[in-house]
Amino acid sequence: MRSLRLAALILLAAAQQASASGRLVARPVRLARRTASHAAQHMVMLPAGRYRPLYAPPGAERVAVAAFALDREPVTAGAFLAFVERHPEWRRDRVRRVFADARYLADWPAATDAGALGAQRRPVTQVSWFAARAYCASLGKRLPTVDEWEYAAAASERATDATADAAFRSRLLALYAGLGRQTAAAAFVNVYGVRAMHGVVWEWTLDFNSVVLDDDSRATGSGADARDRHLYCASAALGATDPSDYPAFLRHAVRAGLGARSSTSTVGFRCAADMVIS
């Protein structure tokens, strides 16, 4: 039953993509000078820590994550419009096709029109990985790594790591099943002060394509190589650190189905930044 349920959830994620601890106080981030003013309003700091990735070599089930800054919310269509106006090479009528497919910003009324004010307040979607990376770079930031994103996403409103909480998992599955029905403004804010990590849009990560499909989930190895080798099907659970973590399987399945040029109606992004060491 678990394998069947997992397979159904992965198919759901693919269909969505194709069709369209203790309490912490979040505080402003100290970053590189060109990023600092933006960070004070839009970013929070996540302390260094460890999290359990879906796949890891034996004996290394926890991965260290350095302190970093992350956008409080996904990038909005309005913010991306401002970027496009400053960098016209990223307009949908000028972008090079090597950097974005034909669906890039196709939901906008025009190349420099992101729609009404309500639409501009929603997370931007139909942007490629290349475009998302360029947006973040324009602000002196970058996309979060998979490890950083998953580390932040493990938090609930009260715990820094709620991944073993059955109620939290069920909640995430319900949010994923209804992806897009919830607005970012209505989404929950986790213990770090980060909003809308689940159920609003899937999100680009810097190394999303580290998810490598393999025909042998028993493959051996160490480090990132071992973590990257898994099956895009229910039997992948055999090599997972926690076979019951269905939300994590869904996120991996979505990443596995993306290409850097992909521009889908269910994928947006937020930016991250390294911390300054005094």
For the stretch 147-156, pLDDT in tens is 999 999 999 9
Q: Which residue ranges form the domains of the chain, and what is each CATH number?
A: 2-274 (3.90.1580)
Q: Where are the beta strands (DSSP E) in the chain?
A: 43-46, 49-51, 63-65, 68-71, 202-203, 212-213, 229-230, 267-268, 272-274
| pLDDT beyond 60 at 26 | no
CA distance 262 to 61: 31
As a whole number, mean pLDDT of residues 209-222 equals 48
In 3D, which of 148, 96, 61, 149 has the Cα closest to residue 260?
A: 96
**80-111, pLDDT tens digit by residue?**
999 999 999 999 999 999 999 999 999 999 99
Residues 6+ apart with CB under 8 A from 229: 55, 212, 214, 216, 217, 219, 221, 239
pTM (2 d.p.): 0.79
For strand 267-268 and strand 202-203, is the pairing parallel, antiparallel, or unpaired?
parallel
Residues 6+ apart with CB under 8 A from 58: none
